[in-house]
Amino acid sequence: MIVSFTVNGEERIANVSGPESLLTVLREELGLPGSKNACEQGECGSCAVVLDGAVVTSCLVMAADCEGSEVTTVEGIGSDRELHAVQQALLDHGAVQCGFCTPGFVVTAAHLFEENPHPSSDEIKEALSGNICRCTGYGAIARALEELAEGTA
């Protein structure tokens, strides 16, 4: 079946044959590999995207259910030339090691800051508790986002 939806502000059409996830369609069909596949079980947040205003794990969303939806992936958050404040903060604080978790953190944190520009440290941790990072121990990610939360105060 044909699914048409908006991805990062552009009208896109995907040819979905069955139960493919939104993640698979984004990565393999729409040329948007920024969202990562690390578990396909909704456990790690590497595949996080914003779907109709809410952060979801795109590995658990059927692409066929996305007709008419609006999706924002990491590719739609900022560009090499114009980084989103969250991206810049992660970069500045050394919060990126292997970076495999980073797209998920960027999407989830950018959404958090949109809803709540001054999250407390606990709120940051709770909002990002669905995103696994195996490299950093979360320390640098916390420092980056806490500073951002204060800086925008």
Partner 1 sequence: MTTSPITRKRVRGGVGDSPLRIDGIPKVTGNFAYASDLYADGMLWAATLRSPHARARITKLDTAPAYAVGGVVLVLTQEDVVGRPGFGMHVPDQPVFADGECNYWGEPIAVVVASDLPTAKLGVEAIDVEFEELEPLTDMEEADARDSQTRRMKIRRGDRDVEGAVVVEGYYEVGQQDQAPLGNEAGLAIPDGDGGVDLYAVSQWVHSDHWQIYPCLDIEPEQVRCHPVGMGGAFGAREDVSMHIHLCMAALRTGRPIKMMYDRAESFVGHVHRHPARMWYRHEADNQGRLVKVEARLILDGGAYESSSNAVIANAAYFAVGPYRCDNVFVDAVAAKTNNPPAGAMRGFGGVQTAFAHESQMDKLAAELGLDPLEIRLRNALGRGDALNTSGQLIEGSLPTAELINELDAMPLAEPLDSDDARHLPGGTGLTTDPRHVRRGVGYGVTLKNLAFSEAFDDYSDVRIVLSPIGVEVYTAAAEVGQGMVTIIQQLAREVLQIEQVAVVWADTGVIGSAGSTSASRQTQMTGGATHQCAIELREQILAEFGGDDLSGEGVWKDGELIVTLHEVCESGPREHEIRYRHPETFATDENGQGDAHPAWAVAAHRAVVDVDPELGLVRVVQIDAVHDVGRLLNPVAALGQIEGGTLQGVGLATLEELVLDRGVIKNANFTDYLLPTFLDAPHVEVKWVEEPERWGPLGAKGIGEPPTISAGPAVAAAIRNAIGADLIRVPILPQHIVGA
Q: Which residues bind partner 1 (CB under 8 A)?
A: 27, 32-41, 43-44, 46, 73-75, 77-80, 83, 87-88, 90-94, 96-103, 106, 122, 124-126, 128-142
Number of H helices, E strands in the chain: 5, 5
Given ligand FES, partner 1, none, residue 47, with its beta carbon under 5 to 8 Å by kind, binds ligand FES
Unique residue bearing structure tokens 């204060």: 150
User: Is position 112 an interface residue for ligand FES (rule: CB under 6 A)?
Assistant: no
* Per-residue three-class SS string for 20-44: CEHHHHHHHHCCCCCCCCCCCCCCC
What is the nearest approach in angstroms of ligand FES to the Cβ of residue 83? 17
User: Is position 46 an interface residue for ligand FES (rule: CB under 6 A)?
Assistant: yes
Categorise residue 122: left if φ over 0, alpha if ψ from -120 to 50, beta otherwise: alpha
How many binding residues for ligand FES (CB under 6 A)? 22
- Cite the beta strand spans of 2-143 per DSSP E: 2-7, 10-15, 48-51, 54-57, 70-72
What is the nearest approach in angstroms of partner 1 to the Cβ of residue 37? 7
Cβ closer to ligand FES: 134 or 153? 134
Cα–Cα distance between 24 and 137 in angstroms, integer? 28
**Lookup: tokens for 106:** 């960027």
User: Is position 97 an interface residue for ligand FES (rule: CB under 6 A)?
Assistant: yes
User: Is position 101 an interface residue for ligand FES (rule: CB under 6 A)?
Assistant: yes
Question: Where do contacts with ligand FES occur on this chain (CB under 6 A)?
Answer: 37-40, 42-47, 57, 59, 96-101, 133-136
